[in-house]
Homo-oligomer: A and B are copies of this chain.
């Protein structure tokens, strides 16, 4: 059925090994035979059988990506970046959705490990111990999480928080709340610490950590009332989805944004530009994050020696939209709280 190197060899009048060489290392073969082989191959529509190749080379030309939820815009964008970069590098991408379940996550990695040269694990939920074990079984690159000395791509959370706080300070806010994500989330711990650090840095700034919430709209709805009760005039959310929940809850309670409260999200997922009011957000280069993960992975895969970049910290950029504004009279706010 399918045309094999053997067929090409017959047509070109050479041996199978010559066919293999002519395609893999053209300079190791005489120009005359090279064109003969290439023409025969193209004429027959020959494509190497990758399974057979990987059987002998031990490499697959594939990479794997595991994310907690493909429907989450954050991961959708990262996935896009991974796929894009892998494609230009000639790699195909296996995708797996762990449904936020750490157990499945490890299982998915193990299932895919045998079919790929390496894997990108995005915002992994697994414990450090499990990750260390997985890293022993296959080449791994972490995204949005540090764990041991596993190669990783992260976001500059401290800088992002700094920009958000600076923006709010400039608008006159002096009491800022932080609505956090899951305590188990590495990036949430980073961001919470960064907010505290900013509070310590500015004498005239009060920071209120409201605790942990689900990193979805539901979590933001729960957090909304706490924000109002805290007396803060601005709130920074763990991520944009949570920020949307805040906006929704404020709307329900008749609190105006940004007149009464300013809201800053994190991630700047595409939809954040579409809501009303537009969401001010700590912009993360989501697609580039995926690309960076693949770059690091391929670096590791192709160069077994320890590369210089075991860690890549991506820069962020605050995107200001209508959900933040000057701190006005907060009398109305207090009445509501």
Contact = CB atoms under 8 A, between A and B. Distances in A.
Interface of A: 2, 47, 49-52, 54-55, 60, 62, 69-71, 73, 76-77, 79-80, 83-84, 87, 92-97, 99, 108, 111-112, 114-115, 217, 244, 247-248, 251, 270-271, 274-276, 287
Contacts of A96: 83, 87, 92-93
A271 B273 CA distance: 12
Contacts of A115: 50-51, 62, 92
B70 A114 contact: no
A108 B47 CA distance: 14
B97 A95 contact: no
Contacts of A87: 96-97, 108
Given A97-B84, A274-B248, A92 B112 contact: yes
A71 B60 contact: no
A321 B114 CA distance: 47
A97 B96 CA distance: 15
Nearest to A278: B248
A71 B270 contact: yes
Contacts of A248: 274, 276
A64 to B, nearest CB: 9
Contacts of A70: 76-77, 79-80, 83
Given A51-B51, A247-B276, 16 more contacts: A2-B114, A49-B55, A49-B114, A62-B94, A70-B79, A70-B80, A73-B73, A83-B97, A84-B97, A87-B96, A92-B94, A248-B274, A251-B276, A271-B271, A271-B274, A276-B276
A190 to B, nearest CB: 25
Contacts of A49: 55, 114
A111 B92 contact: yes
A107 B178 CA distance: 47
A94 B97 contact: no
Contacts of A244: 274
Contact of A95 (B50, B73, B95): B95
A251 B276 CA distance: 9
B79 A95 contact: yes
28 contacts: A2-B114, A47-B114, A49-B114, A50-B115, A51-B52, A51-B54, A51-B60, A51-B115, A52-B55, A62-B115, A69-B80, A70-B83, A71-B76, A71-B80, A71-B270, A73-B76, A73-B271, A76-B76, A83-B97, A87-B96, A87-B97, A92-B111, A93-B95, A93-B96, A217-B274, A247-B276, A275-B275, A276-B276
